[in-house]
């Protein structure tokens, strides 16, 4: 048992190093892409503190914030999905599937419509409130109140209700965007699921939340493992189950809400990355969470880089590629879950 645990730990470390390397290589590649392509050698020179002023401005001021936003939001969506799956004990749980992302997007839209001159720091708080509202609505509609099942929360029912609520909230958001003034509509274009146009302001808006919430998610690893043992056993081990669930869900919902303000709703990142991580390193959250974060970051950065390179000068939103990959897997899970 000890030998197996050490082997799995070394495997998780090896996979983590590989993912970090992949993120670094993708980042360097992405820094060279754009309307004016920059050779990889020039990008490396800029990162080493050299290079001419124009190339430095192009790479560091215009492209680097986009890379930062893609990496942070990918990691945050993945961590949020892994925590939701752990707390709700539902393999179909994901921020975009159970209404969290759509609620955050609608709230952010309404917030900027009502307060166009709001400081950048206010947007994540509005998104957080909307994320909680969307999540609470899905939970309320998913429960089978009363009867012989008690207050049951069936995985497939939760997923189907979540998809319906997310679609309704997304439609409401699009209606608001259509009616919004031209300038505001352009300012909210990132909510469609893209990191296009990400600048230093948007990166600075997401970064503080990531610095607080991603470590908080890692600190929840042992609690999530205990919660997965079931309520009775968790209680017998001294865990205050209600408080533990509430804290973990608060972190998960906040992660998704803050990520939406950086890249909009990136479909299925929060579903796909935790499942891939579980296949690679097992179900223990001390290994699952960091690997899922790295997978989510690489997935979003790869989707954005592909979207920029596929049909230049047109840019395909990253959310389209994550949805194309994640939607078939979601249908597979839906079919497999009884």
Query: Where do the structural domains in the chain lie, given as residue ranges?
Result: 9-95+184-247+255-337
- Domain formed by 9-95+184-247+255-337, architecture: Orthogonal Bundle (1.10)
**pLDDT for 175:** 84
The per-residue pLDDT for 224 is: 92
Q: What pLDDT does 92 receive?
A: 78
- Size of the chain in residues: 338
Cβ pair 73, 318 in contact under 8 A: no
Note the pLDDT of residue 91: 80
Q: How far apart are CA 151 and CA 158, in angstroms?
A: 13
Successive 10-residue mean pLDDT values, the chain, 338 residues: 62 91 92 81 85 84 91 95 88 82 86 77 85 88 59 68 87 80 61 79 91 95 88 80 86 91 86 92 91 95 88 81 86 74
pTM metric for this prediction: 0.88
Residue 148: its pLDDT value, please?
Answer: 45
Under 8 Å CB-to-CB from 48, ≥6 apart: which residues? none
- pLDDT in the model for residue 150: 44
* Cβ neighbours of residue 204 closer than 8 Å, sequence gap 6 or more: 120
Can you list the pairs that 133-136 forms with residues at least 24 positions away whose Cβ atoms lie under 8 Å?
133/103, 133/107, 134/98, 134/99, 134/100, 134/101, 134/102, 134/103, 134/104, 134/106, 134/165, 134/166, 134/169, 135/98, 135/99, 135/100, 135/103, 135/249, 135/253
């Amino acid at each position: 048992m000890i030998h197996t645990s050490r082997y799995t730990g070394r495997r998780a470390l090896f996979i983590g190093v590989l993912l970090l390397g992949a993120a670094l290589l993708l980042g360097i590649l992405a820094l060279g892409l754009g309307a004016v392509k920059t050779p990889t050698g020039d990008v490396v020179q800029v990162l080493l503190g050299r290079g001419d002023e124009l190339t430095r401005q192009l790479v560091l001021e215009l492209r680097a914030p986009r890379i930062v936003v893609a990496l942070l939001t990918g990691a945050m969506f993945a961590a949020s999905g892994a925590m939701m799956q752990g707390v709700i004990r539902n393999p179909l749980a994901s921020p975009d599937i159970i209404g969290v992302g759509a609620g955050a997007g609608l709230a952010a839209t309404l917030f900027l419509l009502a307060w166009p001159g709001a400081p950048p720091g206010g947007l994540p708080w509005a998104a957080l409130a909307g994320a909680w509202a969307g999540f609470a609505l899905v939970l309320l509609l998913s429960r089978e109140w009363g009867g012989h099942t008690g207050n049951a929360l069936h995985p497939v029912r939760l997923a189907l209700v979540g998809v319906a609520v997310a679609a309704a909230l997304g439609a409401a958001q699009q209606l608001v965007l259509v009616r919004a003034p031209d300038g505001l509509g352009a300012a909210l274009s990132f909510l469609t699921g893209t990191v296009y146009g990400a600048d230093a302001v948007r990166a600075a808006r997401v970064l503080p939340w990531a610095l607080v919430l991603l470590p908080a998610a890692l600190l929840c690893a042992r609690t999530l493992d205990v919660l997965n043992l079931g309520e009775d056993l968790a209680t017998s081990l001294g865990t205050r189950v209600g408080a533990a669930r509430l804290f973990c869900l608060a972190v998960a919902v906040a992660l998704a809400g803050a990520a939406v303000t950086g890249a909009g709703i990136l479909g299925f990142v929060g579903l796909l990355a935790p499942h891939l991580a579980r296949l690679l390193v097992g179900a223990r959250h001390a290994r699952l969470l960091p690997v899922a974060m790295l997978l989510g970051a690489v997935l979003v950065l790869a989707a954005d880089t592909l979207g920029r390179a596929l049909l230049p000068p047109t840019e395909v939103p990253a959310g389209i590629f994550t949805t194309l990959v994640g939607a078939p897997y979601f249908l597979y899970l839906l079919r497999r879950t009884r």
